[in-house]
Structure 1
Amino acid sequence: MNLLNVQQLREATPGCQSGLVHFNHAGASLPSQATLDAIIGQLQREARDGPMEAGEQGAVLMEKARHAAAQLLNAPTASIAFANSGSTAWSMAFQALGPWQRGDRILVGRHEWGGNLASMQLAVQAGARVEVIPCDATGAVCPVALDSMIDASVKLIDLTWLPANGGLINPAEAIGAVARRHGIPYFIDAGQAVGQVPVDVQALQCDVLKSAGRKHLRGPRGTALLYVRPGFLQRLNPAQRDVFSAPWSPQGFDLRDDARRFETSEVSFALLAGLGNALQEMNNVGIERVWENVAQTSARIREALREIPGASLHDLGTLQSGLIAFNLAGWDAFELKRQLGLKHINIGANGVAYTPLDMQARGLASVARISVSPLNNDHDVEWLLAALRDLRA
């Protein structure tokens, strides 16, 4: 495998030329100039030719984005839909799985994203129960424990693959094997996975998978991907419909027979043009090379943090992602983030609401979060570590 050309990526990214040290890629990463150009180019076409008239070229760019997303996920093109956020995409699919009834059970990992749990309240109000799958000794969701929980009342297994509050990588393939063996719908929140680790929906055996465009894909805010397994599509009955998702015919309004039944006629072609460029850049670079680089850089940072007095790591699992959860003695996580920001160093900070079940189970009120990208070079790493040592001192 050829080494990733980090310098070439940085030279193509305006944010890397400004003196900024960006370690908040799990919140939103830095787009390339080509991604910005794709967005601006579509906006200029709309201004020059008319917004509706420029939609023809916008639709072409949208389909290019769909093909690029399908390539990245090893999915059929027809199984990809776009949304304006990962939370919207997941919520639409979840609601379409209903109607929920009293006694239905929803099994989730302890690290479930708070937004997904909020969406589940509609099912809870109808009488469904949300139950937590036990963790193994490393803190990861346990497939064996999941298998023992299965009965006829389980209507959904949902997994947040890479939680927002640290470096855990849950065993998504093993969870998928349990779901398929029992014929239970399986949703994956891959918001922190897509663009960071290889994602193969065939190997995962998931029915639904979602991810945001703004994170590790380096796409624009206001974009997201939704994958729906073709054989599962007919089980989903979206509540939101229009003349695009349910086209008119003399026989009535029938839902599309592909994932576009989750889209509407009103979209931002400019943002999707940018997302398409970001997706194609990821395919060109190669997700395996990206993951190799992220794993090496994050391991280096974790090792260095262990040497800083007062620094405590909070990452679970054995194989860990490029999200590094930690706290620094004497510092509130959000104040630490603010102080580093004053030094032009961006990190994240998570409270309980992001991953409430896990944070409460571990007694954590907040964590600071470093998230790594191939854009981060040796200078970034040393600048970050020096700033943390200085603040601790």
Structure 2
Amino acid sequence: MQRRTGRFRGRTDDQGAAITTVDVDRARRETPGCATVTHLNNAGAALPPAVVTETVIAYTQRESLIGGYEAAAEAADEVEGVYRSIGRLIGADPDEIAVVENATRAWDMAFYGFGFQPGDRILTTRAEYASNVIALLQVARRTGAVVELVDDDEYGQIDVADLARRLDDTVKLVALTHVPSSGGLVNPAAEVGKVTRAAGVPFLLDACQSVGQLPIDVAEIGCDLLSATGRKFLRGPRGTGFLYARRDLVQRLEPPLLDLHAASWPAPDRYEIRPDARRFETWETNYATKLGLGAAADYALTWNFPAITNRIATLAAALRDRLRELPGVAVHDRGDRLSGIVTFTVDGVDAAEVKRVLGGAGINTSTSSADYAQWHLKGRGLPDVVRASTHYYNTEAELDLLCRQLPRSR
């Protein structure tokens, strides 16, 4: 089967291609929440476009009128379309996509399917997401596999040269978070893909914060598995996620949980796991939010993605510049390339208090807990940090408002 390439492919302006501007008025007009709140918590959950909310509501109403099973049967073609839309988004084929309830479940279903043995080595980074780390440590305790941290380079991102030196036939998996949630860096996923592919080592990419923000093409990145959420930069409903699993790897992984959707029962003493990525799903699902996820992917595909990427990064850079000009405010993002996530602290003011004060002024932000980033924030001696994250519908005026409403250092 010929591989499709996602419409999100393309170079950003620092790579020499022309960038068109984002129609911010359109984006805000199609996002009802922009009229009610200054939303700079897109790394937590972005504001959905109206079409996503309308899709979820319309299906839920249909269920209430004709019944759940009947509504699902009626919408079968639209449900199948969700897999095609996600495939277009990331350059994959529909049979390589599983739609699940969140990104952690997507990541776990792939990770726990490897069947690690004593002495197997798993390579990861200091900025790995906390839930992923907990799974890594659990598997190490259960199986005797070994978790190793690849060095950071001078920018704080994964040192690809150190990764390459560590790869041998005892390494069973490389797990990387593309854009860590506790800082602004963007890890060089495609460079990692080159060395893992050359070494024949599976590569699992956590793309929670990058799908919808950065151009994602799984063939160009070279990852074998990719997990993502709907609620963040993709602007889909909460409680949605998906897994990409490369076709020739799928049948080597046995999911830790199976049901009558993931497998069949052809004989009294035998089961057979389905051959495609939907082996990582379960039969019961939220059809309303699944269709909402498809609507979010379709909506994203209507935009010029290099322009989106550029605008998000430009707004984040502008916010960092503004924050650095304020007395007592320190910006903590590292990376050769930075994302739309901006982390900072205010001297003498807890991150939770900064978030509370901003929230009182109608400005949504979040905090990143040092306890959830033991190897990353605590490893750098940082406390909890405030996290502001931009999207293409944000404005410079909203950045100015955040800076005006910040509590002053004490």
After TM superposition, is the score higher than 0.5? yes
- Matching residue of 1:103: 119
For 2:380, which of 351, 362, 368 is the aligned residue? 362
Does structure 2 retain, via aligned residues, the 8 Å contact 1:58–1:273?
A: no
- Following TM superposition, by how much is the alpha carbon of 1:86 offset from its aligned partner in structure 2, in angstroms? 0.6
Whole-angstrom distance in 2 between the partners of 1:346 and 1:237? 41
- Following TM superposition, by how much is the alpha carbon of 1:392 offset from its aligned partner in structure 2, in angstroms? 4.2
Whole-angstrom distance in 1 between the partners of 2:80 and 2:119? 41
- Matching residue of 1:196: 213
Say if 2:134 is the partner of 1:118.
Answer: yes
Say if 2:259 is the partner of 1:242.
Answer: yes
Whole-angstrom distance in 2 between the partners of 1:288 and 1:59? 33
Does structure 1 retain, via aligned residues, the 8 Å contact 2:230–2:237?
A: yes
Does structure 2 retain, via aligned residues, the 8 Å contact 1:163–1:355?
A: no
- Per the normalisation by structure 2, the TM-score is 0.92
- Matching residue of 1:49: 66
Say if 2:148 is the partner of 1:138.
Answer: no
For 1:160, which of 162, 168, 177 is the aligned residue? 177
Q: What do the CA deviations read for 1:101-143 (whole angstroms, capped 9, x no partner)?
A: 2111110011011100111233212111111000111111001
Q: What do the CA deviations read for 1:320-361 (whole angstroms, capped 9, x no partner)?
A: 000011111121111111111111111110112332211121
For 1:40, which of 52, 57, 75 is the aligned residue? 57
Counterparts of 1:310-349 in structure 2 under 5 Å?
310-349=328-367
Whole-angstrom distance in 1 between the partners of 2:372 and 2:280? 25
Whole-angstrom distance in 1 between the partners of 2:261 and 2:329? 52
Runs of 4 or more above 6 Å deviation: none
Between 1:285-294 and 1:169-178, the stretch displaced more is: 285-294
Secondary structure of the residue aligned to 2:376 is helix
Say if 2:316 is the partner of 1:298.
Answer: yes
- Matching residue of 2:20: 2
Whole-angstrom distance in 2 between the partners of 1:91 and 1:275? 20
One-letter amino acid matched to 1:345: I
Counterparts of 1:82-97 in structure 2 under 5 Å?
82-97=99-114
Secondary structure of the residue aligned to 2:98 is strand
For 1:178, which of 169, 177, 195 is the aligned residue? 195
Q: What do the CA deviations read for 1:49-79 (whole angstroms, capped 9, x no partner)?
A: 1111111134322222211111110111111
- Following TM superposition, by how much is the alpha carbon of 1:387 offset from its aligned partner in structure 2, in angstroms? 1.1
Does structure 2 retain, via aligned residues, the 8 Å contact 1:247–1:254?
A: yes
- Following TM superposition, by how much is the alpha carbon of 1:364 offset from its aligned partner in structure 2, in angstroms? 1.3
Whole-angstrom distance in 2 between the partners of 1:287 and 1:230? 26
Counterparts of 1:273-292 in structure 2 under 5 Å?
273-292=291-310
One-letter amino acid matched to 2:318: R
Whole-angstrom distance in 2 between the partners of 1:172 and 1:318? 13
Secondary structure of the residue aligned to 1:220 is coil
Counterparts of 1:3-42 in structure 2 under 5 Å?
3-18=21-36, 20-42=37-59
Does structure 2 retain, via aligned residues, the 8 Å contact 1:156–1:186?
A: yes
Does structure 1 retain, via aligned residues, the 8 Å contact 2:328–2:408?
A: no
- Matching residue of 1:387: 405
Does structure 2 retain, via aligned residues, the 8 Å contact 1:13–1:32?
A: yes
Q: What do the CA deviations read for 1:199-233 (whole angstroms, capped 9, x no partner)?
A: 11001111110011000011011000100011111
Does structure 1 retain, via aligned residues, the 8 Å contact 2:20–2:304?
A: no
Does structure 1 retain, via aligned residues, the 8 Å contact 2:212–2:300?
A: yes
Structure 1 residues without counterparts, runs of 5 or longer? none
Whole-angstrom distance in 2 between the partners of 1:247 and 1:136? 47
Counterparts of 1:60-71 in structure 2 under 5 Å?
60-71=77-88
Percent identity for Structure 1 against Structure 2: 37
Report how many aligned residue pairs link the two structures: 390
- Matching residue of 2:6: none
Say if 2:277 is the partner of 1:259.
Answer: yes
Whole-angstrom distance in 1 between the partners of 2:259 and 2:180? 34
- Following TM superposition, by how much is the alpha carbon of 1:250 offset from its aligned partner in structure 2, in angstroms? 5.2
- Following TM superposition, by how much is the alpha carbon of 1:90 offset from its aligned partner in structure 2, in angstroms? 0.4
One-letter amino acid matched to 2:150: I
Secondary structure of the residue aligned to 2:205 is strand
One-letter amino acid matched to 1:143: V
One-letter amino acid matched to 2:109: M
Does structure 1 retain, via aligned residues, the 8 Å contact 2:357–2:405?
A: no
Whole-angstrom distance in 2 between the partners of 1:311 and 1:235? 50
- Matching residue of 2:370: 352
Say if 2:229 is the partner of 1:212.
Answer: yes
- Per the normalisation by structure 1, the TM-score is 0.96
Whole-angstrom distance in 1 between the partners of 2:173 and 2:371? 22
